[in-house]
Structure 1
Amino acid sequence: MATVGLKTTQYSVLANVAREALPVAELAERLGMERTTLTRNLKPLMDAGWVVPRPGADSRQRIVTITEAGQQKLAESYPVWCGAQRAFEQLVGREAVRALHTQLESTLAQLTPLIEDLPHAHPE
């Protein structure tokens, strides 16, 4: 199967933007990443024409929206993503994958309050 030119993090961002156009800050929160990290991940997606920032209600707010080209890239990437998921599950086993997801969710739940309390999490 041909490579589709998306990193795993970019696929995740593109898939989430396809579900719902969101402000950058809200999308970063949903993805569990810093805004600056999300901005770095959005740049190649914007450069490729797969997502665009639209003005929000507030002039400082940017709503990340998927384009038709982005929808096509996502559709092209989906079978590759599913194949990678299946290969990983076959390698480590379904129960190990479930346990990994459970551990990651638990860890994120524990870390989120700590991350939100960091000084850089609330720029003035």
Structure 2
Amino acid sequence: MKTEEQNKKSSVCNCLNLRRASLAITEIYDHYLAPCHLSVSQFSILKHTRAMEPVSVSELAAEIRLDRTTLVRNLKPLEQQGLIHDIAPSGTRNRQLCLTVEGREKIEQAHVYWQQAQEQIEAQLGQENTETLQALLLKIEVLAP
């Protein structure tokens, strides 16, 4: 009987292979973060906001390397949950985002689950392969014009 890994075949298309891998990794992180009611994307936004606060949407998008409109769409549920708020004076065009107390607590709670996902992936791939993967992904990221 073939294992699931043996049944899956790599595509000749590098883009498709990377998308498939990205979906698989995202699924793992989202599974681990589910008890916190956060996706890995939301967790990343919260962590980057905390590290940079107060931060404008444009600065945050550039740091995370997300399209600004995608980031705005992903910020809405975090703001609705009371995890992020805008401290810019009313009427100003440039939003300044900060975490709320609840947002800080959510990061602390979620970090434990995020770490478990990290450890599971490294256990599956091995430390050497994980380091190789990280190096290759960085090389791929800088390929874009």
- The verdict on a shared fold, with TM-score over 0.5 as the criterion, is yes
* Structure number, greater radius of gyration: 2
Distance (whole Å) between structure 1 residues aligned to residue 140 and residue 92 of structure 2 = 35
Point out where structure 2 has 5 or more consecutive residues left out of the alignment: 1-31
* 2:59 aligned residue: 26
1:96-115 superposed matches below 5 A:
96-111=129-144, 114=145
Asked if residue 44 in structure 1 is aligned to residue 102 in structure 2, the reply is no
Give the C-alpha shift of residue 59 in structure 1: 2.3
Paired residue type of 1:82: Q
Distance (whole Å) between structure 1 residues aligned to residue 141 and residue 87 of structure 2 = 29
Asked if residue 4 in structure 1 is aligned to residue 23 in structure 2, the reply is no
TM-score when scaled to structure 2?
0.71
**Sequence identity percentage:** 30
Structure with the larger strand share: 1
> What SS does the aligned partner of 2:143 have?
helix
Asked if residue 78 in structure 1 is aligned to residue 127 in structure 2, the reply is no
Give the C-alpha shift of residue 95 in structure 1: 1.6
Distance (whole Å) between structure 1 residues aligned to residue 121 and residue 45 of structure 2 = 20
From 124, 128, 141, the counterpart of 1:95: 128
Give the C-alpha shift of residue 9 in structure 1: 0.6
Q: Could you report, residue by residue, the CA deviation over 1:80-118 in whole angstroms, capped at 9, with x for unpaired residues?
A: 00011000100111122212222222222222xx3xxxx
Aligned residues, how many? 111
Distance (whole Å) between structure 2 residues aligned to residue 79 and residue 48 of structure 1 = 20
Point out where structure 1 has 5 or more consecutive residues left out of the alignment: 115-124
> What SS does the aligned partner of 1:3 have?
helix
Distance (whole Å) between structure 1 residues aligned to residue 128 and residue 49 of structure 2 = 29
Paired residue type of 2:67: E
> What SS does the aligned partner of 1:62 have?
coil
